[in-house]
Structure formats: structure tokens, C-alpha cells
Amino acid sequence: MEARDCKTPQDVLKLIKEKDVKVVDFKFMDFPGLWQHVSHPACQLNESIFEDGAGFDGSSIRGWQKIHESDMLLIPDPATALIDPFREATTLSLICNIAHPITKEKYSRDPRNIALKAEAYLNSTGIGDTAYFGPEAEFFIFDDVRFDSKPNASFYAIDSIEGQWNSGRDEKPNLGYKPRFKEGYFPCPPMDHFQDLRTEMMLTMMACGLDIEMHHHEVATGGQSEIGMKFGSLVSEADKLMLFKYIIKNTAHKYGKTVTFMPKPLFADNGSGMHVHTSIWKGGKNLFYGNGYAGLSEMALHFIGGLIKHSAAILAFAAPSTNSYKRLVPGFEAPVNLAYSQRNRSAAIRIPVYSSSEKAKRIEFRPPDPSCNPYLCFSAIMMAGLDGIQNKLDPGEPMDKNIYDLPAEEAKLIKKVPGSLDAALMALELDHDFLLKGDVFTEDVIEEWIRYKTEAEIDQIRLRPHPYEFALYFDI
């Protein structure tokens, strides 16, 4: 369980020798947002692979190449070298970028390449040199999950020793201590069943070089949790978030548990969000700090203006599953209202006031969830904010009232985030010029994202009867 500060291929080869590494695991991000990997004997690794890459079949990766142009290259990034804490044989993990096998050009649909271009674009604008991101990814720890979908049957069943629905189950003995719905934030053990498991997750993360701030039980029953990770620059933080997920899933698996970052796995309790904190810096100075509302600079307010203007399109990447919109439902404390406020958690954009220091000043965009591809999510958020800065977009007046207590006539005037993935994709189709600046996102990326999400996810949900429809309609 060791992170190593490698900067060059020579550093990686030295680490392999020092640690007697047997296997080198190349990891890369697919289009929708899952880590993929291929493993090589460590004895095959040499300096040339960091330039020439290793071949693989890109047509087998979701949303990528067609069969007649399938060959692609994995180019490992030496700065991501890490000894994998879970593998039996000593294994070195390297995150890779994707390139064309002949031209060596970086692949337009590689999410990490998009994020690298986003960072380069920020520098090219002269606005800032670093965009920092701090995601708060929530998740559920379950004991059992079963699901199936057939022409004549469809079901899912989730279980947790901690689930309130098991308060009456004969567990021989049932010891109680099951958090009530919406009361999981945050009781001590034994009500919190997963203190030790989350602690092991946290310590493993720290041993792997992640800077962790805290962990705790979250609001929902049935094992909802959060582990807080310190902010970092765009690409680095997206890399870390993928390692974060990998460690959480594998630690749970080691103890016979399963983890999901699905935003809404339970009915009638809170879903899992991923509030994203962000700020732009230049020359070591936080450009979001100022003397405006909530201690924000004019630049930060324009950034908020960009988020509000482009929020619907952003959500095509930041809340990218049909299940995301089971969480983003008006009237249930979800961050669906396109307003900004200090402290007010009913607004889509919050300005945290835990600290008034210059370094801590940031904005928090609350609609994203952890089903997203972080490279695309962070890039889209930054590009929308930069568009707001470049065009001096006015975010309007802040909303410091409780939006859910507003009179109906006043509440109707507040714009909402999209109500479905379909609506978010439609917004992306109509509003994506801000993403094309600096060639960060390309037309083929936008087109393929919309096509893939529509055909592979939206259409598949549309075509299938929902189990609850039988409760509503079978007796018609």
C-alpha cells in the first residue's frame, strides 16, 4: 500500500526493481466513466513503452472506435505510478492516455485527454493557471444486491444489515441499531455499522497517497457513507477520484460487502450526490476571493453566471444516468433550483462559509452525482464557468431564503435543472459551443455522448415495463 512520487519512466523502472514488482497494470477511462485495465508482466516494461505505448482493441470499449479502425495505443503516465494495495502478486498501477497507433495523436474521445485539454485551455486564456476541484462522492455499502430484466420479468432487491426495513427481521438475534430513514447523519456505533470498514478504506487511501480529511455515515439508512478527499487540480483530482472509487469497492469486496455509487438505489430515502467544490487560481492566488457577496470576487460571480446559464448542458455529463433524475426531484431537498446562496443547501450553487480565509473561498456546485465520468464532469463545469467569466455573465441576485418555504408564485420564477437525462442531452445538443472552445470537447465527442446515452440507456429504459407500473395499471 504505497504511493511513490514518480516523474519519469526511469523512476518507474527503479520502483519496479526496488519493490520486486511482478505485474504492471495499465488503467484507462472508458467513455461512460469506468476504469478499464490490462496487465503485463513487469519484465516486459521498458522506457520505450512510455513513448510508443501498448496496443489494444479500441472497438471493444463503449463509445469508442468502430471495428474497422479498432487499433489504439495505451500511453502510461509515469506520474501515476502506484503499488496496488489489493493484488496478491506485487502489482504496479499506471494510468494511461489513449493515442492513435500511427499518428500518436491523442484520442478525442479519451476522457483524460479532454481533461488535459481543459487544463491547457485555462492556461491559454490567461484567466488562471489552475482550476481546483473537490468532489464529495457519497456511496452505499450493501450486503446483497440482486437484479434481472427479462422479457417477462424484471426486479431488483437490495439488502443491508443496517437497513431500517430489517428492523423486524429474525436475525437470530436481531440486535436493532438500524438507522431510521433520513436519520443516518451521523450516529455513533453501534448504530453506525461501518465505522471500521470506512476507517480501513480511509487508511488505505492515505497509504496510496490520497489526502483524506474525514469519513462519516451519511443521511440514508442501509449504509450510506461519505469519505472526504482534499481538493486538487482538474486532471489530478479526476485521477484520484477513480483511485478513491477503486479502493472503496475493493475494500468492501474483501469483507463480503458491495458498494454502489449509483445516485438513487433506494426508494424513500436520500440519494448519493457528489457536490463539486471549485475555484480558479493564478500565481498561487485564489481568484475567487474578493469583497463581493459571501466574500466572492467579481470573477467568481461571473463563473456562477456561466454555471447557471449552461447548467442543463453540464448535467448531461455531471448527472449522466437515468437514475440521476430519481435524485434530482423538485420538493425533496434535492439541489434542483438554479440559484446561488451562502449556506443555503436548497440552492444548486452554494458558497461554503466554514472558513472566510482566502485559500478556502470556493463555490460548490451541488447537482452532480458520483455516476459521472469525473474528467468530463470537471471539464464541463470549468468550461461553463470560463464562458461566464469571458462574457461577464450576471448570476442575478442570491437566494438566501429557504426555497422550499417560498410562496408558489415566487418559487415558480426560479429555474430548475433538467428533469430527465433526455432533457439534459437535448440541452447539450442545443448548447455546447462553450465546450468546443480550445478544442477541449469536439463535435464527435458531443455527438457520440448523446448517441450512446440515448441508445444504450434512455431507449433501453423506455422499452421496458417498470415493476411499479403493474401496481398502478394491471387491473385496468
Catalytic residues: 57, 136, 138, 218, 226, 275, 345, 364, 366
Q: How crowded is residue 23: how many other Cβ atoms within 10 Å of its Cβ? A: 18
Residue 86: cis peptide before it, omega within 30 degrees of 0: no
Beta carbons of 76 and 5 less than 8 angstroms apart = no
Backbone φ/ψ region at 439: left (φ over 0), alpha (ψ -120 to 50), beta: left
- Return d(Cα 139, Cα 131) in angstroms, integer: 25
